[in-house]
Amino acid sequence: MPPDQARDKPRIDTLRELIGTVLAYVVMGAIALVVIDFLFSSATGQGFGRISGWMAALPTVFVFTDQFRRYEGPSRWAVSLTGVVLGLGAGTAAAALAPPTWLPMVAGGIGGLVAALVYATLWHTGISIYGEERH
């Protein structure tokens, strides 16, 4: 059974679909992070929002992993590594430019969102040009 039929997930073919999926996963990650931070800050008496917001972007790894598996050949590695480096660089810059009064959860969340969006854009563009889709 081909990998696409083994999973009952719809394929993400356009940049618009990829960006929308990434945004949805970051929002879900942010909601989970807020709930977890609220529970821990309530239980320990520590301040709310001190947890790193970068973790909100972690669920997007599942999206990007599925995209990576969809293709074969060495070009997917080059596109992926380039996207990771540039995405993390852009995310780090965005988080660093946030006002110092913002909580780490907010500044990190913005950094994670920017990193995921930059990676998604670079991945889709690069794989459209150089990718070899599995059959």
**Hey, where are the domains in the chain?**
13-133
Check if the beta carbon of residue 112 is closer than 8 Å to that of residue 53.
yes
Residue 37 has pLDDT above 60, yes or no: yes
- Tens digits of residue pLDDT in 56-80: 999 999 999 999 999 998 999 999 9
119-125 mean pLDDT: 96
Exposure letters 92-109 (e unless 16+ CB within 10 A, then b): eebbeebeeeebbbbbbb
Which amino acid belongs to residue 125?
A: T
Name residues whose C-beta falls within 8 Å of residue 111's C-beta, 6 or more positions apart in sequence.
Answer: 53, 54, 91, 92, 94, 95, 96, 98
- pTM for this one? 0.87
- Tens digits of residue pLDDT in 84-110: 999 999 999 999 999 999 999 999 999
Residue 124 has pLDDT above 60, yes or no: yes
